[in-house]
Chains A and B, each alone.
Chain A
Amino acid sequence: MSPAGARGRLDVNIKQKSFRAASGGKLHVLGELVFSLRSGELAALVGPSGCGKTTLLRIVAGLDRDFDGHVAIPAHGTLAMVFQEPRLLPWRTVEQNVRLAAPRASDAGLEMLFQTLGLEAHRDHYPGELSLGLARRVALARAFAVKPDLLLLDEPFVSLDDALAARLREELAELVNRRPVTTLLVTHNVEEAIGLADRLLLLSIGPARIVADVAVARPRAAHTPAELAALRHEIARRLNQPFSRENL
């Protein structure tokens, strides 16, 4: 593999992760979780609520070091994350929030980013003045502005209206096509996962394990109904245990 390829590689090798519950006992959240992403690969983590997706992202981001196993993220690489909630600095404007996280972003680059995300009119607003949907877009802008080598997205498109979510998915697809970035995308939405990812990692609940690793044949291209049906069928076949079917 080329050096550039090796640089963006993500290796996750988690033996197990548990939390000490406040009441005493131990909560075994992640089981054995082993997977790798090639440089520039976008994998969607799909799993039921509470199965440990955020916990996994926090471990990958280096925010939680209390687990068995190890994780190798792209060396010297920059990292960006869209948390499950926006996590903006309430005392800084939209533009300052983005610039503080991405001090090297160019004016022109930010201009374009704000335009595509429909944030032009809100650059000087404080987060307290934004709707949740707008705040989520700022969090996305912040993550994209960094031009990261590893991008972690924790359900970035929830609580946006359908049209906007669709536009932002297209935007993400385009950004990734233009400049491939190793990405872990957490989502509940299988449709979204199929539309964006190179690979789907389906997680089981308690403790989380990968129950299926499904490749998407032509990632980020329009899929025909027949292809979609085949993919769904494949997912259903690979799931060897009960799994939320409402999205399948």
Chain B
Amino acid sequence: MKDVELTHLSKSYDMQTEVLSDISVSIHAGEFFVLVGPSGCGKSTMLRMIAGLEDITEGTLTIGQKKVNDLHPSKRDISMVFQNYALYPHLSVEENIVFGLSVKKVPKTQRKKRCHRVAKMLGLTDYLNRKPRQLSGGQRQRVALARAIVNESPICLMDEPLSNLDAKLRAQMRSEIKQIQRQLNITMIYVTHDQVEAMTMGDRIMILNEGKIQQVGPPIDVYNAPANEFVAKFIGSPPMNLAKATIYPDNQTLSVVGRIHLQLPPEDIQRMGTKEVTIGIRPEHLQLATSESQQPGSSKFEVKVSHVEVLGNETLLNFEFAEGNWQAKWNGQWRVNVGDIVPLSLHYSAICLFDTTTGNMIKQPTQNEQHLIQGVSI
């Protein structure tokens, strides 16, 4: 088992602008590591540098304690799945799967056995004699997957493998890939622009923007405590609501465009040391104001609903707030009409605060509902 370690890694194609700058991260053996970020932020470049398909401009890359900056891709003990699958069009499914094994000096009978085992695992047994163009998109995806896992490399790299599939198939493949990774105990480095894939699949995720690391950590930690405004907006659907706010140390309050007023603990004011902040609140923490919700530390404000989406098990309310569009997410089905005035309440413990000038988080929410099943017996 081998760790993959990136130390101050940088990449520049034209020697002028850096596509990736100063990337340092350690990917543990057996881990499902997701690289997520908007398109063009350098995810593929980073993956291709790990694979050895792209030169490393600066920094070191080690796989299992060994520096591999200049090692040929085939010597790095990796397999790779490409976005467009990169299947050989005139080879059959079986030939595609075993093509790489012939070089690895795997005996012919062994090759056949391994191919059939992998095909069975991915439900491809009936298609082994077909050509890639006779397969559906989902089946081609599986062949690409089979080809990657058949050579039993300890590290597998995937570059947006699900982006060409429809939504339903994508959800199915998400859990299948995750299961295979766990079953074979592979180190997975997975690139996606889709935060849902990142949240659902990753043991740890790394958010990248404009070539720089924004945050690395387990998905839930990233969701609960985003390191900066970018991560707050990027992770979570619908995204976190953000607005400019001002702290008044004299009467220990925080005010958002004069409509929300929150009482602040004095130690927080001291610690943050700035007056201009950005407040962030997840849509699920904006609940209907009731008489019980009027506790110390909470604030009530009224909004005019501009759009309603009832999704069966939850209801999304859209409204204009502080020059932006905010959303509230309520459980269950609610009968709310466009134009209705709705009272909302939020609690200080649920909000994030960011330094407006740097964008970095200065206060994380302390109220996170974590549910545990303990000692349940039926």
Q: Do A and B interact with each other, yes or no?
A: no
